[in-house]
Amino acid sequence: MLVGKVIIVEDQPNFRKGLVKMIELGQPEWNVVGEASNGQDALRLLDRFKPDLVLTDINMPIMNGIDFISLLRKNYPDLLVIILTGYREFEHAQAAVKLGVFDFLTKPCSEQDVHHVLHKAFLKLNERHSKPEPFELSLEEKRISDLETQFISAILTGEANIVQQVLDQFIANLKTLPSYKLKLEALSLAVALHRTARNYFDIEECGLYNKTSVDMTDLTSDKIDVWTNELSAGFMKSFQKWQLSKSENTIDKAIKYIEEHYEQECRLTDVASYVQMNPSYLSVLFKKATGETFKNYLNRMRMDKAALLLRNTDMRISEIASATGFDEPNYFTNVFRQQYQMSPKEFRNSKEGIG
């Protein structure tokens, strides 16, 4: 039985030990061969243990995760890397995408999260050992990885039109290439789309790349144009299906969280952490579903609650401001005036406020 070797790079000892325990007890296909608290120490372990997988945090002393991965790639270009990231570090995580990371684990991560992502990584490792794909062996791995990076960066925007634009631009560029390079680029596209759909959308067989159906000798320019457009359409269908599955119940959960925490700071990052989605993508989905930005929705809910308190209690304005999540009464008054075109005091004294 194939057993993969994994190194964990994490500066928080308790969290690192917790990961080790999760893997040792629940992941028989992985063996933890080394631990490090920063990227510099981890680099030494690479040469010593030759791991198949690295789990690394981003924010660490001495050498952070991004610098570590950048150096790692020089000697281990194909090593599987999983990033441990918090939602506030999402911009850094996007930088990690460019370095060819395999997947992400968002802190705090459950045992189920760890099991899921390590299982995906093991499937990838097992594929490398037992099922090498003939086309991939003849293609440039770096080119395929670069394409994957472009597709994942587009996916992270949450905008279907941006993903489509990236695909359309690639297909348009194919028409300018000589015949010999055209075939390689088209096949690179097929492999990159297949990998992205399989690894990012959790689709085991997406039909985007079927090596048995491609006759290399029969790929004329016209047929390549038809084929790549079919690949693009298939990928977009997979993306939209994945997007829909991700958004189902997510917005309901987000709204419920806002209703239960509006009197607190209630930041977008807090809600994103609760629904297990990156803040940028949640922001896009939230506006699509509600027609409002997260901030506008939160403020409107707070103002509705404030109006009820003004109508039905004798609480002071400063108390109502605090009870609806505002530290500054003056700011509360300004936001209230924007929604009701009158101050909280005027609202309370008006017929509307009394009624």
Question: What is the pLDDT confidence band of residue 316, given thresholds at 50, 70 and 90?
Answer: very high
Q: Which of 145, 151, 135, 143 is nearest to 210 (CA)?
A: 135
The secondary structure of 157-210 as a DSSP string is TT-HHHHHHHHHHHHHHHTTS-HHHHHHHHHHHHHHHHHHHHHHS--S--SS--
Strands 80-85, 53-57: pairing kind: parallel
Query: Could you give the number of structural domains in the chain?
Result: 3
**5 lies in the same domain as 118:** yes
More confident residue, 138 or 288: 288
pLDDT at residue 279, rounded to an integer: 82
CATH number at residue 14: 3.40.50.2300
The C-alpha atoms of residue 57 and residue 313 are separated, in whole angstroms, by 49
**113 lies in the same domain as 164:** no
**81 lies in the same domain as 98:** yes
**155 lies in the same domain as 183:** yes
**189 lies in the same domain as 163:** yes
The C-alpha atoms of residue 24 and residue 348 are separated, in whole angstroms, by 62
Please say which residue of 131, 150, 166 terminates a domain. 131
The C-alpha atoms of residue 27 and residue 21 are separated, in whole angstroms, by 10
CATH number at residue 322: 1.10.10.60
47-77 confidence digits (pLDDT tens): 889 999 999 988 888 998 888 998 998 889 8
**31 lies in the same domain as 79:** yes
**228 lies in the same domain as 183:** yes
227-257 confidence digits (pLDDT tens): 899 899 989 988 888 777 767 678 888 999 9
3: pLDDT strictly greater than 80: yes
* Angle, CA of 246, 249 and 255, to the nearest 5°: 120
Residues spanned by the domain of 290: 250-354
**154 lies in the same domain as 184:** yes
For residue 355, give the 3-state DSSP assignment.
coil
131: pLDDT strictly greater than 90: no
Please say which residue of 98, 113, 131 terminates a domain. 131
**43 lies in the same domain as 12:** yes
Count CA within 13 A, CB hemisphere, residue 248.
5
Please say which residue of 88, 108, 131 terminates a domain. 131
**146 lies in the same domain as 83:** no
**110 lies in the same domain as 51:** yes
Single pTM value for the model? 0.44
**3 lies in the same domain as 127:** yes
